[in-house]
């Protein structure tokens, strides 16, 4: 969500600084337009950084509870209810602990899926960099 924007921008800035200037110079000599430079140089070089930033942002969004609980409590007719807020409301307001446990397992599975994806992605990137 919006709280993670500075971190995402910092990651993308770090990614932009890793792109060799020679690639842009070669593209300029070849007559590439700014849009072509962005499409063929910038985006492919930022792909890893975009995937990492997106994955971390998804994990942070899944675990978001505090702002929604304080601001809206799930909102009108559950409009802003996310899984952690649904888990809290099911367990402590509706006293349905079995259903809340199932929601907790689902939440754990989602975070675990994205975490494993992120770990494998960074491990693959580290192996590629060492070769």
Distance CA 78, CA 86 (A): 9
pLDDT for the residue numbered 16: 96
Provide the residue ranges of all domains of the chain, joining segments of one domain with +. 1-62, 64-131
Tens digit of pLDDT for each residue in 83-94? 888 898 899 999
pTM of the prediction?
A: 0.71
């Amino acid at each position: 969500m919006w709280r993670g924007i500075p971190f995402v921008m910092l990651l993308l800035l770090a990614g932009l600084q890793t792109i060799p200037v020679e690639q842009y110079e070669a593209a300029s000599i070849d007559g590439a337009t700014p849009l072509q430079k962005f499409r063929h140089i910038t985006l492919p070089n930022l792909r890893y950084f975009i995937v990492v930033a997106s994955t971390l942002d998804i994990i942070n969004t899944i675990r978001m509870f505090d702002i929604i609980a304080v601001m809206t409590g799930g909102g009108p007719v559950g409009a802003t209810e996310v899984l952690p807020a649904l888990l809290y409301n099911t367990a402590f307001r509706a006293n349905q602990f079995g259903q809340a446990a199932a929601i907790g397992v689902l939440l754990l599975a989602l975070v675990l899926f994205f975490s494993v994806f992120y770990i494998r992605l960074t491990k693959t990137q580290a192996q590629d960099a060492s070769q």
